[in-house]
Amino acid sequence: MLLFVILQLKPMLRIFLLFLFSLVLLTARNIDAEYRVEFGIFGEVAKVHATLTSDHKYYSINATVVAVGSIAKTVTDNLKERHISKGHIERGLLVTDLYQMIKSYGEYTNTTIYTVNHRKKSVTRHYKEWKQGVKIKDKKVTLGYYSKDDMLTLFLNLPKHIKEKYKSRHYTFKAVGADRRNGRVDMTVPSQKSLKKMGDLLGKVKEGDWYSTVVMHRKLYHSQKGELEVKMNKEGIVDKAVLKDLVFFGDVRIIRQ
């Protein structure tokens, strides 16, 4: 039974941890935050630490995630990830110039660097991978889309992107590092009919809190589209996010500490 669980979890949990970074960062200008990740019957499986620093011209975001507990470390080969976003500020919005993902697990290490050329409106992706310290992959391509947001800055900019947070509506964005074909991210502000169900799942809202459903179009095991339910507070801080009903294992919950 334990072997079956490990084989089912391994491809899923590695991919899921990628989603954490785009949900746990904040709209304030100097932030140091911690999140706990719980996975169905297994309890806590990861910790996330995120920081944001900025002045009136430039910003820097740094986020790390590490697996915790024997099962999580086993199924992810002791996965560690770091995501970095650096850029400038235009009219109060964070505009990405560089987005980097660094991942290590087992004997492998890889990095993906997205470089945004705003003048040419293009995005370059440079992927490198090492096995036991020896480089085995090095590929650079220009992607077929352009965006001023990446996976981190999109959520930080949401309070300015979405003006009516309590009116049911569907939004489509592009974010560097999201869907590999076109960078697409979909977000829906729920209808009044859906509010009670989301409240039961995410907790009741206080004044200024709001709910949304986010789809990042990246297959996450039995969750084909990577669809998450999210509750944000009036400061734009993600308080809780849930990936619902994965087969065999229940919900994945991201909870601010």
Q: Identify whether the C-beta of residue 227 lies closer than 8 Å to the C-beta of residue 200.
A: no
Q: How far apart are CA 8 and CA 243, in angstroms?
A: 17
DSSP string, the chain: -HHHHHHHHHHHHHHHHHHHTTTS--SSSEEEEEEEEEEGGG-EEEEEEEEEEE-SSEEEEEEEEEE-SHHHHHHTTS-EEEEEEEEEEETTEEEEEEEEEEEEETTEEEEEEEEEETTTTEEEEEEEEEETTEEEEEEEEE-S---S-BTTHHHHTHHHH-S-TTS-EEEEEE-BTSSTTT-EEEEEEPPGGGHHHHHHHH----TT-EEEEEE----BTTBTT-EEEEEE-TTS-EEEEEEEEETTTEEEEEEE-
The predicted structure's pLDDT at residue 178: 81
The predicted structure's pLDDT at residue 51: 83
The predicted structure's pLDDT at residue 242: 80
The predicted structure's pLDDT at residue 85: 94
Kindly give, in sequence order, each residue whose CB lies less than 8 Å from that of residue 134, ignoring residues fewer than 6 positions away. Answer: none
- Average pLDDT of adjacent 10-residue blocks, the chain of 257 residues: 37 48 49 69 74 88 80 70 93 94 90 97 96 95 95 84 88 88 88 83 80 74 63 75 61 64
The predicted structure's pLDDT at residue 5: 35
Structure token digits, residue 92: 């109060």
The predicted structure's pLDDT at residue 160: 84
Structural domain boundaries enclosing 174: 2-256
Q: How far apart are CA 83 and CA 112, in angstroms?
A: 10
The predicted structure's pLDDT at residue 222: 46
The predicted structure's pLDDT at residue 150: 92
The predicted structure's pLDDT at residue 203: 79
The predicted structure's pLDDT at residue 249: 54
The predicted structure's pLDDT at residue 12: 47
Q: What is the pTM of this model?
A: 0.81
List the Cα angle 164/166/167 in 5-degree steps: 70
The predicted structure's pLDDT at residue 206: 79
Number of domains composing the chain: 1
